[in-house]
Structure formats: C-alpha cells, structure tokens
Amino acid sequence: MIVVFGSLNVDLVTPVERLPGAGETVIGPGYALHPGGKGANQALAACRAGAEVALVGAVGRDGFAEIALSLLAADGVDLANVAHVDAPTGAAFIAVDAAGSNQIVVAAGANAFARSAVLDTMPLSERDVLLLQREVPEAECIAAARSMKRAGGRVILNLAPAGAPAAALLDCLDVLIVNEHEALVLAQSLGWPDGEPEEVARRIDAERGLTCVVTLGAAGVVGWQGGVRRRLAAPQVDVVDTVAAGDSFTGAFAAALAAACGFSGALQRGLAAGSLACTVAGAQPSVPRREAIEALVGQAFL
C-alpha cells in the first residue's frame, strides 16, 4: 500500500495569453474548478498507476470539500483518514499561459490541520510506502515518516513546493524527488555552492546514502542511487499545460517502486506519466492511467 500524507485543494484555473509580472494584472476569458493539491494529485496518480492507495489529510466542511474529494473517491483511493475540520478547504489559484507554463498561489486552509497521528492506527508494514510533499505542516510530515520507518516501510519526499527541508525529515527518507528549482533550493539549504541539478542528486546519494531523482521538464529525468547514474530523455508529446506533471511523475514512480519495477522501471513509468499529464488541461483530470503509462513506456523506453 502507498500512504500519501498530504494536501487536498480545489484548483481555480485561468488561461491567460501570458503570465503576469510583479504588480501586473492580466485578463483571462474564464476559469474552471478542478480537484487538486499535491497530496491528492499524487494519491490519484499512484492509484491510477495501479497501486492501492490511502490518503491522510484534511478538508473543510464546505462546498469545495466535495469537489476536492470527487475524483479520488471515483477512482477508489481510500479516504477514511481524511479529516473534516473547521477551516476552509485548501485552494490553489493557477494561471496557465499559451505555452503551457503556469503560476500558482496556494491557500493552505484545512491543510494546515492535517495530522499524522492516524498513521499509528493503520496496519503499516515493510511492504508499504509513505509519500510526502510540502503543503502540510513539516512537523507532521516528520512524525508520519517516523511512523512508517518504525513499521519498516519506505519514505519518499517530493520537495514541492520548494523549501529547505528539516534535517530530521531528510534523516527519515529513502527517496528524494526534486525538480531543477527545488534542487537549487536544496543545495542552498545544505550550503553547497554548486546548485547544478545533477550534481545535487549525486551528492545527496553519495554523502547521505539517499536515492535522489531530479525531474528536468522536457529534458527528462536523472536519478542517482548507490553511486549509479540513470538518465532518461522525455518522450515527445504535445504540451497543453504542465500542471500536475510533477505530481503524476511522483505518484507513478512511487507506484512502480512499490510494485517492484526497480529504480529504472520506476523512472520510466514516472516520466511517461508526467509526459502524458502535459497533454491534458488541469491537475487531476490530466493524471494518466496505468494502461496509457505502460503503452508509452513500451514505445519510448523498451
């Protein structure tokens, strides 16, 4: 089982001709409401990639809660441990330009009240994987990671949104997933002058014994594990928007790792899922299913 401890949001997505600069207003023709949040997106991605998934988090007692939970429930993610609290359901405000790039502002809302104590009541084992991000309180992420480590399971952190991780959290991890910007922030937090993404991944692996994966957008992905480098080019796709590409990568990667596909197989499936997510608008609506992921893996990597 994959346990995702993370955020649930409603995404308000607006298409714009170009992204605004500081202090600038741009006009979009309308907006759409989609379920989102990094925790929810990654839970859905892992589920659609074939894993059994339980999500631990919090939503409000408002109309947005139903939207935030809708696709997760439809796809069979276990939502028994999602709390309903007296705070507004989290929301993300997303502008997407004509090239598919985006700007995102997140209001935490109920996500600030996500609590990890429920993991101690779950039947965790060494076969399980905990998947974390940075849209819920870090102290709770550390507690969740320690619960999974006590059970003998593995812990994956997607360092998104970018920020300096606590040393106590890094000490609990088996796998760290970052994009290029997050790799730079990580390097700065560790006092490393070279923030080149691949060098960051190599040093994390070499100096901390921690598998590190860097997603490189259209350039693909590079991973270091046990002193061995793996680099994959991204499949060529028609990009609509890049929202949830990283979440789709992370969820599918975790599902493949849990299914004993090996590190290289997990990178392939993560990269295929992230690429496919770019071909459909929105966050959760763009998350691909196992059949499409495996088909693209067969075309691009095998």
Catalytic residues: 247
Structure tokens at 35: 């379920």
Phi, psi of 23 (to 5 degrees): 75, 5
Q: Are 117 and 137 in contact (CB under 8 A)?
A: no
> What is the DSSP code (8-state) at residue 271?
H
Of 45, 96, 68, 84, residue with least CA distance to 251: 45
d(CA 3, CA 54): 5
Q: Are 10 and 68 in contact (CB under 8 A)?
A: yes
Phi, psi of 266 (to 5 degrees): -70, -40
Q: Are 110 and 60 in contact (CB under 8 A)?
A: yes
Structure tokens at 135: 């849209």
Residue with tokens 């599902």: 255
Residue with tokens 């500081």: 22
d(CA 289, CA 302): 19
174-212 b/e (C-beta count within 10 Å ≥ 16 → b): bbbbbbbebbbbbbebbebeebebbebbbbbbeeeebbb
> What is the DSSP code (8-state) at residue 127?
T
